[in-house]
A = this chain, B = another copy of it.
Amino acid sequence: MTYHPHIPDGSNATIHSAVSATGTPVYGETYRIPARCGVAVIAKDGDLLNINNPSGYQVCDFWAFRLNNLNEYLSMSHSRTHLGKLIPELGDTLVSNLRSNMVTLESSDTPISHDTLIAACDHHRYQQLGVHAYHDNCTDNLRMATQAIGQKIPLVPDPFNLWMNVPISPSNTVSFEPPVSSENSRVLLRIHGDCLLVMSACPQDITPVNGEGKNPSHLEFSISN
* Interface pair B85/A173, CB less than 8 Å apart: yes
Cβ-based interface call for A122 (8 A) = yes
Task: Name the segment of A46-54, A68-76, A217-225 touching the other chain.
Answer: A68-76
Interface residues of A in 38-89 (CB under 8 A from B): 69, 71-72, 75-78, 80-81, 84-87
For residue A95, which residue of chain B has the nearest CB? B124
- Asked whether A119 and B75 contact (CB < 8 A) given A98-B3, A172-B87, the answer is yes
Q: How does the 8 Å CB contact mask read for A104-145 relative to B, with 1 for contact and 0 for none?
A: 000000000000011100101100100000000000000000
Residues of B with C-beta under 8 A to A3: 69, 71-72, 98
* Interface pair A4/B119, CB less than 8 Å apart: no
* Interface pair A80/B124, CB less than 8 Å apart: no
Cβ-based interface call for A213 (8 A) = no
Task: Name the segment of A26-34, A150-158, A177-185 touching the other chain.
Answer: A150-158
Residues of B with C-beta under 8 A to A97: 119, 156
* Interface pair A118/B81, CB less than 8 Å apart: yes
A77 vs B87: C-alpha distance when bound (angstroms): 15
* CB proximity of A88 to chain B, nearest CB, Å: 10
Interface residues of A in 139-171 (CB under 8 A from B): 154-156, 158, 168, 170-171
A117 vs B97: C-alpha distance when bound (angstroms): 14
A100 vs B127: C-alpha distance when bound (angstroms): 12
* Interface pair A118/B71, CB less than 8 Å apart: no
Residues of B with C-beta under 8 A to A81: 118-119, 125
* CB proximity of A49 to chain B, nearest CB, Å: 23
A-B contact pairs, 17 of them (CB 8 A): A3-B69, A5-B71, A71-B155, A75-B119, A80-B118, A81-B118, A85-B174, A86-B168, A86-B174, A97-B156, A98-B124, A99-B122, A99-B125, A154-B155, A155-B155, A158-B158, A170-B170
List 14 extra interface pairs beyond A80-B119, A158-B158, CB under 8 A: A2-B69, A4-B71, A5-B71, A80-B174, A81-B118, A81-B125, A84-B175, A85-B171, A85-B174, A87-B172, A97-B119, A99-B124, A99-B128, A168-B168
Q: Which 4 A-B pairs have the closest CB atoms?
A: A77-B119, A99-B124, A86-B172, A78-B119
